A and B are shown apart, each in its own frame.
Chain A
Amino acid sequence: MRKHPLAGPFLVYLFVTVLCAADFAGDTDKDRARIAARRNWWAFQPVTRPAVPKLNSAWPRTPIDALLLPAMQAKGVAPSAPETRARLIRRVTLDLTGLPPSSEDVNRFLADRRTDAYERLVDTLLASPQYGERWAQRWLDVVRYADTNGFELDAERPHAWRYRDYVVNSFNTGKPYDRFLREQIAGDEIWPGNPEAAIAVGMLRAGPEHVVGGNQDAEMNRQEVLIEMTGGVSSAFLGLTMNCARCHNHKFDPILQSDYYRMQAVFAPAIGKDIPIATDAERTRIEEAKRAHAARIQPITGKIAAIEKPYKDRLTAEKKSRLEPALRALLDQPKDSLSPADREKQRNAREQITPSWDEVLAELSPEDRTRRTALRQQLHAINLDEPEPVPAAYALENTAEPAETHILKIGDHRMKLGAVQPGLPLILANHATVPSTSTGRRRALAEWLADPAHPLTARVMVNRIWQFRMGTALVATPNDYGLLGSRPTNPKLLDWLAAEFVASGWNVKAIDRLVVTSAAYRQSSARDAVRDRLDPDNTTYWRMNKRRLEGEAIRDAVLFASGKLNPAMGGRPVRVPIEKEIYDLIFTEYEADNLWPLPKDRSEIYRRSLYLLNKRSVRLPMLQNFDQPDTLSSCAVRPVSTHALQALSMLNSDFMAEQAAAFAARAGTVPRAYQLALSRLPRPEEQKQAAAFLAAGGTLSEFCLALLNRNEFVYIP
């Protein structure tokens, strides 16, 4: 034999463990110099509230407009005319609630001639419960929320949904953003024993987690969890790509590899745990219900086992007879009498004669198969009544003795360099420190981020609000304010909004209100050849941006038009009917007969998309085709792609056929269909067009399907 094949790997191991350990001895002067050189980067400067220019123009309604107008003038573009009131109410209602306005809402608004009618409308919408649902959809993109773990088993997280409801509720109640931030990073530390705060830290566990059997590298798995927590907080709140410094000093930003691991050390004590939040009475009730449920199931599983047993026994006997005689003989020996080698063989022999579930099923007689299938169906029906688990928060607990955090060479957990203490990125720390005690690390991180003087926190959030309402962000890379990120298109506006945000008590609704009542927001979204040439990307906001609704909002709007929408809020995630092709994508190595149980109460399948089970490995085509994020990394900006599969599912899917029919039945006439879908009556030529379509043999259902597919329906005007 040649050179030992492991000689290479062994030398690498030796090198890594013995030699590299000396590699990291704290940050060097060179490192610190690197940081100092970048200290003047715009995003690291304190927010200063710019003076709002006094302009000789009647256009501005808010300071936002006064800060936008000079930028327009510099490009030689003038703002657009105000949007029509009919389109404006559709725009702002879709924006703030994710649902179209009803025709009654529209009529009421159009009839309201008070000068502040629009502001009153905005206040009503901001106070509606759908406002929080709309925001939650967006926030959940940023924290990459899903209801399952991801990876092959992709098990459901039975308590994760409480975090989703927490987010809805936080936006609805006008929770100050600094409190919202503190709760999600360190709620359990700052408000111990408070169930809402425990649920809030579910944000730190929102990312994917690999849970699988067999021999596991526990340290690697733990690293992955910590990477998710560190990266999740950096993207959502800090607006920096800390994860880029996991393997080496950040290539562009003044973030050292040690900065990354100091921040990771903040999370080192945090271990994922479901924290009970049930009252004793609740627990007793549910546990009793569980026992009763088990008692209903047991006789059926017993009958199924009895059907299978003779087949299993026969297969086992057959397999046994095919074993080598020596091995077969071992099977009957008492384990204690065997040598270790024979014991291993005996174990192997047992595995070899055990039939797999599908082998057993393949053997069943037609009668037994029918009986068994009926029993399985009975079982699944009973399981729809399975009591919900005892309420718990999908949360964290600090371990008393957190593992030491090491810098990892090229991010590899097997290549530990020097140890680091928990801390904040040097460039931004500004003398803030993190204690090395187990509890209190996350609190220190949260307090540092929630400091009104923090240069990034407020800028990051107001930019998200602006992007949400205006369609494009001021900083086009909302998760990255570093050197590779985009510069703000209007730095003064960004800073004014950030200062105003902090001054308002971190009030998200107040900023939302400011934005949607601005003259900029209330402009027409029509194109203009001249201005399109001068500012083709509309960076000065000389017109409003039209925006395609997200797949979730399209589905909600379809249900709204058909009248099927079930407006119930909150609770456990809901499964909706899926096509066989999608069902087949659910991975299992076992019997695939009940992988997607539909709710007993069918009105549940018409809930808002926010409440649909978000399963990482199986996406719903209608949502996925419209660029629903995969929830595997933070999504700050959804791409808008346009392709034929969208058209196919919008024209041909069972869902759309059913909804178009319900919509037609509800509308009855073309004008009413226009009102329900587009919040307006048809124009005369549209009325004619519809009449011609129907006269040529078209049905109202087909007409309604076309209406639900048209650009006006799927775009925020």
Chain B
Amino acid sequence: MIPRRSVLRHAAHGFGAIALQSLLARAEATNPLAAKAPHFPGKAKSVIFLFMVGAPSQMDTFDPKPALKKFEGQRLPESFGKIQSQFTDGSTPILSSPWEFNRHGQSGAWVSTLFPHLSKCVDDMTFVRSFHTDSVVHAPAMYQVHTGRILMGYPSMGAWVTYGLGSESENLPAYVVMPQPEGTPEGGTPCWGAGFLPAVHQGTLLRPGPAPILHLKPQAGVTPERQRATLDLLQKMNAADTEPADAEMSARIASYELAFRMQSHAPEAVDLSKEPEHVRRLYGLDQKRTAEFGGRCLLARRMVERGVRFVQIYSGGGPVSIQWDAHKDLKENHEKMCGMTDQPIAALLQDLKQRGLLDSTLVVWGSEFGRLPMSQSGNGRDHNMHGFTMWFAGGGIQPGRTVGETDDFGLFGVGDRYSMRDFHATLLHLLGLDQNRLWYLHNGRNEKLTDFGGQVIRGVTG
């Protein structure tokens, strides 16, 4: 990678404008994405957030409930009261899991047969089984996971993190988002929005292929040389327009240089053809079922390698059949969704580890809620916000643990239950950010990701 200084010199070359150089140097000092020191040393430098759109079922994946078999077809004991979900009211019969569970690794973590690859990585992972959200409707619950509130309009985690830490990458966006090609998650763009933070902190869509970022590619027929010539003209005009004391206008000049660098670096950063065959196979790029999601997981690794701060990947989006939202045909749905993601996610963990990146990269797998132990449409499950599983790997977590639990049916979190505020406090903590020192004044209130505060989950952080 070309160091920033020499790029600036290169940019100034040709019109020898010392003034422009000093403008650029000044702009650098005020770059809102310049890397910032954390509040305290944190092991995690980057985050990869794997979000399973539509809500995987916890009692079919990572939280075995033998009682379901015993009570199969029966109603939930009346003592549970009315369990209102989005479409069912709790009166439908209990449905046992179609999958077997086994213990894996030295940690003996329980994983169902849905995840043959991931089950080999359990010693790097820590499961939290008692998360809960406050809505049984997808979009509000997604907003809560991403932004801390069930409403639209609050900054997403990635926005807060780049606001707090800036970026290590000079040539790529600080915060990238890779949705499912078939469609967006129900919560849509506010899931990676900047909310009331400046727009520079919003997530940037990243796609595989020759045009990974919107408007990255010059119009057809515009060669790099032509574009550079236009840019040189523009920068000369801008230098004439800009007084040295004007940081805002200077920053605009610098933003064009970053855009130009991004144009040459981003296509290389997303070019998976340069990856060796064994790596491509590891992520399942050679198989129809896994190639697409595997490609995005591999991209995530390449982004983290290049200093991108926050990577958000969505499994699922668009038609219900391409979400984890198994209101009916749980078996068919989860086998399909796990089939697409199991090997790529396991590959990502192994690959990061083998490259020595796992310690500094926090990988989180989760969703907006879990699913109910009772059935819907006979062979599916409705939404359950009361207790569900997410897992963590890398980034300085204490691996090999299972934290929190749900009741015998997998319905409610019991004992230590964790809110999204706790989740966010934990994530910030691992990055070296103090939830109470990361704030932004908006409409008369010091807004924070964790609002009135969360508990760092010590079972995860050690």
Question: Measuring CB to CB, which residues of chain A are less than 8 angstroms from any residue of chain B?
Answer: 1-2, 4-6, 9-10, 150-152, 154, 208, 210, 212, 214-215, 224, 235, 240-241, 244, 327, 344-345, 348-349, 351-352, 356-359, 477, 479-480, 482, 484-485, 526-527, 529, 532, 546, 548, 579, 581-582, 584-590, 592, 616-619, 621, 624-628, 630, 632-636, 639-649, 651-654, 657, 686, 689, 693, 696-698, 702-703, 705-707, 709-712, 714-715
Contacts and interface: CB of A to CB of B under 8 A. Distances in A.
A423 to B, nearest CB: 22
Nearest to B254: A642
Contacts of A686: 237, 240
Contact of B444 (A210, A480, A587, A645): A480
B205 A581 contact: yes
B321 A587 contact: no
A322 B199 CA distance: 52
Nearest to A657: B219
B436 interface: no
A648 B214 contact: yes
Interface in B1-51: 32-33
B353 interface: no
A351 B215 contact: no
B443 A648 contact: no
Nearest to A703: B233
B139 A1 contact: no
Please list the 7 inter-chain residue pairs (A to B) with the smallest Cβ-Cβ separation, ordered nearest first: A632-B153, A348-B378, A480-B444, A641-B198, A241-B444, A647-B259, A5-B407
Nearest to B320: A589
**B79, B183, B199, B213 — which one has the most chain A CB atoms within 10 A of its CB?**
B199
B255 A644 contact: yes
Given A215-B85, A696-B229, A154 B188 contact: yes
A431 B320 CA distance: 57
Contacts of B246: 527, 546
Contacts of A2: 407-408, 414
A616 B152 contact: yes
19 contacts: A208-B153, A212-B137, A235-B443, A348-B379, A351-B378, A352-B328, A352-B379, A484-B444, A526-B243, A546-B249, A630-B153, A632-B190, A639-B197, A645-B214, A651-B218, A651-B231, A652-B217, A705-B230, A710-B238
Contacts of B196: 630, 633, 635, 639
Contacts of B241: 710-712, 715
Given A214-B137, A484-B445, A698-B233, A621 B214 contact: yes
Interface in B166-210: 173, 179, 181, 183-190, 193, 195-202, 204-205, 207
B170 to A, nearest CB: 10
Contacts of B234: 706, 709-710
A568 B231 CA distance: 35
A702 B219 CA distance: 11
Nearest to A483: B444
A698 B248 contact: no
B139 A212 contact: yes
Contacts of B140: 151, 210
**Most chain B C-beta atoms within 10 Å of own C-beta, residue among A224, A241, A358, A652:** A652
Contact of A618 (B188, B197, B252, B329): B188
A366 B237 CA distance: 56
Contacts of B233: 689, 693, 698, 702-703, 706
A482 B444 contact: yes
Contacts of B117: none
B218 A642 contact: no
B268 interface: no
Nearest to A690: B233
Interface of chain B, main secondary structure = loop
B237 A712 contact: yes
Contacts of B412: 5-6, 9
A475 B217 CA distance: 43
B256 A647 contact: yes
Nearest to A8: B414
Given A241-B444, A715-B249, A584 B179 contact: yes
Contacts of B240: 686
Given A585-B189, A648-B262, A706 B237 contact: yes
B69 to A, nearest CB: 15
A399 B44 CA distance: 55
A482 B199 CA distance: 27
B82 to A, nearest CB: 10
Contact of B152 (A1, A151, A585): A151
Given A154-B188, A643-B199, A705-B230, A527 B321 contact: no
Nearest to B225: A697
A710 B152 CA distance: 35
Contact of A647 (B80, B255, B446): B255
B328 A151 contact: no
Contact of B443 (A344, A582, A633, A712): A633
B199 A627 contact: yes
A2 B79 CA distance: 13
A706 B153 CA distance: 34
A642 to B, nearest CB: 4
Contact of A641 (B32, B85, B138): B32
Given A632-B151, A647-B256, A702 B199 contact: no
Interface in B235-278: 236-238, 240-243, 245-246, 248-249, 251-256, 258-259, 262-263
Contacts of B195: 630, 632
A2 B405 CA distance: 13
Given A215-B85, A527-B245, A644-B258, A5 B443 contact: no
Contacts of A651: 215, 218, 227, 230-231, 256, 259
A349 B378 contact: yes
A588 B190 contact: no
A389 B223 CA distance: 49
Nearest to B234: A706
B287 interface: no
Contact of B204 (A154, A579, A645): A645
A344 B92 contact: yes
A4 B183 CA distance: 41
B462 interface: no
A258 B441 CA distance: 25
Given A349-B378, A548-B248, A646-B255, A698 B229 contact: yes
B198 A627 contact: yes
Contact of A639 (B198, B236, B375, B414): B198
Contacts of A358: 319, 321
Contacts of B190: 617, 630, 632
Contacts of A244: 444-445
Contacts of B187: 152
Nearest to A619: B189
A349 B87 CA distance: 17
A601 B240 CA distance: 41
Contact of A208 (B152, B215, B226, B445): B152
A714 B253 CA distance: 12
Contacts of A707: 237
B89 interface: yes
A702 B445 contact: no
B148 to A, nearest CB: 14
Nearest to A349: B378
Given A645-B204, A693-B233, A711 B152 contact: no
A1 to B, nearest CB: 6
Contacts of A696: 229
B86 interface: yes
B444 A625 contact: no
Nearest to A348: B378
Contacts of B200: 641-643
A80 to B, nearest CB: 13
A533 to B, nearest CB: 10
B215 A652 contact: yes
A585 B92 contact: no
A711 B196 CA distance: 25
B280 to A, nearest CB: 25
